[in-house]
Amino acid sequence: MGEAERVGEVIEASTTDFVAQCYELYELPPLGSLVRTREQGVELFGVVYRATTTSFEPGRRPIARGRDEASEEALYQANPQLMKLLRSEFGVLVVGHREEGRLHHYLPPKPPRIHGFIYQCSPQEIREFTESLGFLSILVNTHLPIAGDEIIAATLRHMSRVHEDPNAFLVSAGKELAILLSGNFGQLKAILGRLKG
């Protein structure tokens, strides 16, 4: 693997999650994908749980401009300043870290630093990270601003793609969830329904 794909930079950080900004507008990592960053020798792993694109200045909202344009592409070409006035951000939930070569599926001692670089995890890294499924309990037990079921399902779908037998991975993850959600069959059913295909 040459230079790993860098997807952004940390602009806001806490123990449990951080917010990153993309270098290019709309170049967002997909929902549920696994990303990593680094903080003094500790590698942090997180799952992308939300993404937003807003104006640079909070008070200035974009206005509709496309009435006379033939296509959306043409609109952006006619208004090159848009690329500089808008920005894409994504939120990452920390689900584990690697310290001295060992993977841990629990929170790292410190949050990442601002301006820490964020990389998309390679298939190899995803396979390593998902050798055990301990990270699921963080996903299940965190209260996110959007439905947790969606994040869990998106994450597992995303991870399953790099496995040789995606179905076997999903079944074992499903079993882990069935144990974690033993008292909440409704939620389990919702997640399982979103895992297929």
Partner 1 sequence: MTLEKDERLGIVTSGSLNKGVEVRLDSSASVEDMAVGRYVTIEGQKQRFFGMITDISLGVIDPKLTLTPPDVSDPFVAEVLAGTSTYGELHVLPMLTIGGDAKGLLEGAQPVKTVPSHFSPVKLASQSDVELVFGREDEKKFYLGTPLDMETKICLNLEELVKRSNGIFGKSGTGKTFLTRLLLIGMLQKGRAVNLVFDMHSEYGWEGSSEAGRKVKALKQLFPAKVAVFTLDEENSRRRKVSTDFVVRIGYDEITPEDMVLLRQTLNLTEPAVEAVYQLARRFGRRWLERTLEIKDAEETKELLGELSIHESTFQNLRRGLATISRLPFLEAQAADNAVGSILEYLERGINVVLEFGRYTDVTAYILVANLLTRRIHSQYREKMEKAMGEDSARPVPLVITIEEAHRFLNPGVASQTIFGTIAREMRKYNVTLLVIDQRPSGIDDEVMSQMGTKITCLLDNERDIDSVLAGVSGKSELKSVLSRLESRQQALIFGHAVPMPVVIRTREYGSAESYRDFSTAGEAEQDVEELWD
Q: How far is CA 94 from the centre of its chain?
A: 9
Sign of the torsion angle spanned by Cα atoms 131, 95, 20, 166:
positive
- Applying CB under 8 A, does 185 fall inside the site for partner 1? yes
Binding residue count for partner 1, defined by CB under 8 A: 18
- Applying CB under 8 A, does 189 fall inside the site for partner 1? yes
DSSP state, residue 68: G
Least Cβ distance, residue 85 to partner 1 (angstroms):
46
Q: How far apart are the C-alpha atoms of 138 and 93, rounded to whole Å?
A: 9
- Applying CB under 8 A, does 132 fall inside the site for partner 1? no
Tell which residue, 35, 57, 31, has the closest CA to residue 46. Answer: 35
Largest Cα–Cα separation, the chain: 58
Site for partner 1 in 159-178 (CB under 8 A): 167, 170-171, 174-175, 177-178
Least Cβ distance, residue 49 to partner 1 (angstroms):
23
First to last CA, the chain: 29
Per-residue string for binding with partner 1, 88-107, x by CB under 8 A? Answer: --------------------
**CB-nearer residue toward partner 1: 13 or 133:** 133
Residue ranges in contact with partner 1 by CB under 8 A: 167, 170-171, 174-175, 177-179, 182-186, 188-189, 192, 195-196
